Amino acid sequence: MIFFHIFLTVLSFVSFVIIFKFFKIRSKYGHLPGPKSNGLIEFFFGQYFDIYKFLSENNFIEDLQLIWSKKFGSIYVYQFFHQMICITSDEDIIKKILIEKDLPKKPEIYNIVGYPFGERFLGSGLVSEINKEKWRARRALFNHGFKKNSLLQSIEEFNAKGNKLIQKLNLIAESKKSIYMFDEFNRMALDAIAKIAFDLELDSIGNQESELNSFITYGLHGLTLKMTDPLSEIRPSNKKLIKEIKQSIRNLRKFSAEQLRNIIEKFEEDSPISNTIFSNILRHAKSTDDMDFEIMIDDFITFFIAGQETTANALSFCILELGQNERVLKKLKSEIEEILGCKNNISNEDISKLNYTAAVFKESLRKWPPVAAFSRFNPEEIEFGGKLIPKNTWFYVSPFVMSQSEKYFPRPDEFIPERFISSEPFAKENKITSYTYFPFSIGPRNCIGQNFAILEGKLILAKFIQHFDFTLDPYQSLKVVERTTLRPIDGVKVYLNPKI
């Protein structure tokens, strides 16, 4: 009996401490708007079950945050287990978070990016490294691989991979079969980044059985699953999926390690003629201590994912939007026919003239940014918009939510490239700045490969429109799914009609 009383006493004390802690956390945020937690379950779990239900029906959480933003305003909070998460769609606050204060990345989130389900995925790569000093050193090293001259030299490879894709699509078009453009853009982008960054010839375009895409997709799925559902590992329905995710990550790292060893050996034998992005980085790293092989694998994988996903997803959304917008498509075709004609290869000079093409690509990135959100936190109490935000608040900064703000982008749900053309009257109605439009993030930790992605995206889009008319499959879903990056859920199924 005495042990039972001791147990009850300990249980009561622990319960009191937990409840007191939750009351204390919530009381600090009482002055901020947001969805309320009602009842005992929501007292402890907050909006977790609302989010889980929404995700099971709608595929990505930013849609729910957009709904809440419209209801609660440009800065609000919600509870996720013991965490209070602050969402903002205010230009000035975004500027303070990412530029003026340069708030650090949230460790819990980027530890998941590095090690989902305990498997080393992006590890301590450029995206997932949270130590600012270590990150600065690596970013300075990586900058050597992304100089302007290196990017301009990439145009030759973009043309080569693009031409190979066009050849493949022509064969499929002749068969009158439909095709999933997301898969094809994905393979093309993977081949391009492999060649330009590492001098690897993967031939994913010609090899439908390539497993590398699958490894990457499962890894990204793992990040999303772990971030949005902390209880995912205890759900029996996820057992098989998590096993596949972990094995895919192991396979991806095994492939990466084998390729890296070959690259390093060739680099040492033939460094004078090696001029890839990675060889330029490696050349400068040889004189430093920054040669940890596991971190190099982290960076190798980061390169593949960033170089592939950004371009492929944006191009897929371009086709999905153009397939529903005859006016924009007609205008785009007219520009491409006038400037490119029947050219087989597109030059940098050509790309600089494709103003409407650039606007179409930018509008795709606005409406469907590659990464819908990223996380920061404030080590100390901070004031935003006259409101005090307690220290250690989790900030969720969403390019997607910002892009849907009518305050900055009139008619935000419409695909209107003219908003990015300064000479167009509609452009003047938009408020496009670095703090309202940031599909590649902003500040010191912006995407190092954004110029690479934009250049490739414009060139491949122009080449595709130059060679094909297309129609969307009438049963094509227009929904979106999040696998760390946003992508069309149905893969953009189209029928092609060759023009040249």
Neighbouring CB atoms inside 10 A of 400's CB total 24
The CA distance from 327 to 380, in Å, is: 50
The encoded tokens of residue 154 equal: 């990439």
What is the spatial distance between Cα 440 and Cα 274, in angstroms, rounded to a whole number? 29
447 is in an annotated binding site: yes
Q: 384 has which bridge partners?
A: 387
d(C-alpha 93, C-alpha 125), whole Å: 28
| CA atoms lying within 13 Å on the CB side of residue 148 | 1
The number of beta carbons lying within 10 Å of the beta carbon of residue 422 is 9
Q: Which residue ranges make up the annotated binding site for heme?
A: 447
Q: Which residue ranges make up the annotated binding site?
A: 447
